Structure 1
Amino acid sequence: MPKFHHVFAALAVAASIAAPARAAEQRPEIARAVARPQATGVQHTVRTIPEACARLEGAFTGQLAAPYRFAVVRTSATCHPRARFVDAAKAQPWSQSGWLLNDLVRVPSAACPSQQAVVRVWRKPGSASPPALDAQGRARIYLQDAQKELPAKAGATPLFAATMTVEGAACR
């Protein structure tokens, strides 16, 4: 579990990076209303992505320098991901082809109504498909065969990335 947090430590840094204007031009795949206002210091789930075994969590801090804390956490140690979460700063999904703006989540601050955290979730579809059924009607994967096919299917896994910005005027 700590390794998972280490992998996504860079996401906290990427949280301060604003996606360029191209993100504003795209319409997200998921249409949602503005979230319920959140109190300062209260950890809340912004979005859960079950296929990546990840949950986006955030909290308003009440600090001017860093008004919102954002992290990606693993949902369960026993979860087997069918997609990967990648660092948005490295992947730059807003400037790469193949990435789709999947979700746009706006979370207002209860203590400062003029301020809101805006989380953009990006998705890059994969080409993964379930294995063919054998003569007994079962989908079986044999280790030797999977290891041979793995390099060819490296790009088959769907990817997710998230960016966070804080919009609006800060309250004093």
Structure 2
Amino acid sequence: MRPTAIAALAAAVLWSAFAPGARAADPVPEIQRPPATAQAVGVVHSLRQIPEACARMEGAFTGDAAEPYRYAVVRTSPQCQPRARFVDFAKAQPSEAGGWKFNDLIRVPNAACPGQQAVVRVWRKPATTSTPALDGQGQARIYLEDARQQAAAGNVPQVPLYAAQMTVEGKACQ
């Protein structure tokens, strides 16, 4: 690694360890990233894209003390065929004990209020599917009629799940 890359990595680790509002209970995320660039109030920005779920997380600082940050998961394209689902965090209640993996921790500072930041925690639950048996030609195939029969029997293959929780940490500005 280059010295500048090592310094940047060390700064990111130290910042995340001693950042105001850092949770001691947060496990280490699968994706390591430094805090995002500070964002101005009213500017909608992308937080992360999850191609397999055909989804993009976006947010904006509002300047409103009651709701300082607005966050949404939007579909990327009507033609996109999702291979994963985004589920409601409150209903899923992801935890490592439940088979979920802490996937990403996204921190976005408020440009107008340096002591405030939006924090998005993304969880991922891998699918527990198996590869179909090989046929006579050595190919793993899924046949339409077989898939319909499995679906009718309630044996639908699982897809990976994603859930995200957004919080605002730090002091609000006047």
Change in CA separation of 1:76 and 1:163 when aligned onto 2, cut-off 3 Å: same
Give the TM-score taking structure 2 as reference length. 0.78
Alpha-carbon distance in structure 2 between the residues aligned to 1:159 and 1:78: 20
Moved over 4 A (4+): 129-140
Q: Which runs of 5+ in 2 are unaligned?
A: 1-22
- 1:84 corresponds in structure 2 to 85
Match in the other structure for 2:59: 58
Highest relative contact order (Cα 8 Å, sep 6+), 1 or 2?
1
Q: Deviations over 1:81-139 (max 9, x none)?
A: 11111000001003751011100000001111100000000000102355566556766
Change (3 A) 1:130 1:54: farther
- Partner letter of residue 107 of structure 1? V
Q: Is the CA contact 2:96–2:102 (under 8 Å) kept in the aligned structure 1?
A: no
Q: Work out the CA distance in 2 between the residues paired with 1:96 and 1:88.
A: 15
Q: Per the alignment, in what secondary structure is the counterpart of residue 36 of structure 1?
A: coil
Whether 1:153 aligns to 2:156 is yes
Query: Counterpart of 2:170 in structure 1: which amino acid?
Result: G
What SS does the aligned partner of 1:45 have?
strand
The 5 Å alignment of 1:137-152 reads 140-150=141-151, 151-152=154-155
In structure 1, what is the Cα distance between the partners aligned to 2:170 and 2:125? 29
The two structures, once aligned, show a CA RMSD in angstroms of: 2.1
Other-structure match for 2:27:
26
In 2, the alpha carbon distance for the partners of 1:130 and 1:49 equals: 23
CA distance in 1 between partners of 2:45 and 2:135 (Å): 45
Structure-2 residue corresponding to 1:3: none
SS at match of 1:120: strand
**Residue 113 in structure 1 maps to residue 114 in structure 2:** yes
User: Which residue identity does 1:74 align to in structure 2?
Assistant: R
Q: Equivalents in 2 of 1:92, 1:108: separation in Å?
A: 26
Following the alignment from structure 2 to structure 1, what is the Cα–Cα distance between the partners of residues 28 and 147? 37
Aligned residue pairs, count: 150
Q: Which runs of 5+ in 1 are unaligned?
A: 1-20
Q: Residue by residue, what CA displacement relative to the aligned partner does 1:53-98 show, whole Å, maximum 9, x if unpaired?
A: 1100100000000000000000111111111110000010037510
Q: Select between 126-135 and 157-166 the one with higher mean Cα deviation.
A: 126-135
Fraction of identical pairs, as percent: 64
Distance, in Å, in 1 between the alignment partners of 2:77 and 2:134 is: 29
- Does the C-alpha gap of structure 1 residues 137 and 41 become closer, same or farther in structure 2, counting only changes over 3 Å? farther
